[in-house]
Amino acid sequence: REVVTLAVAQMSNQEIADRLVLSVRTVENHLYRAYGKLGVTTRTELAPVLGLGPVRGRRIA
């Protein structure tokens, strides 16, 4: 859930990996699985599916 939330906030895979102390490959795997479960193909499609609406800005505090 955290990886997806950060992806919706427009953080890059590398930024997410650094923030959560994960490898970039692990972040990619989490996103790939989330896309499949949620029936989306892009980060842009994630926000509405999660009920977050469009996210402005670049970082989550």
**Domains, the chain, ordered by start:** 2-50 (1.10.10.10)
Name 59's Cβ contacts closer than 8 Å, sequence gap at least 6.
9, 11
4-58 pLDDT tens trace:
999 999 899 999 999 999 999 999 999 999 999 999 999 889 888 888 765 555 4
CA-CA-CA-CA dihedral for 6, 18, 61, 49, to nearest 10: 0
Question: What pLDDT was estimated at residue 19?
Answer: 98
Is the CB of residue 16 less than 8 Å from the CB of residue 22? yes
pTM of the model: 0.77
User: CA 2 to CA 57: how far, in whole Å?
Assistant: 17
How many whole angstroms separate alpha carbon 1 and alpha carbon 30? 9
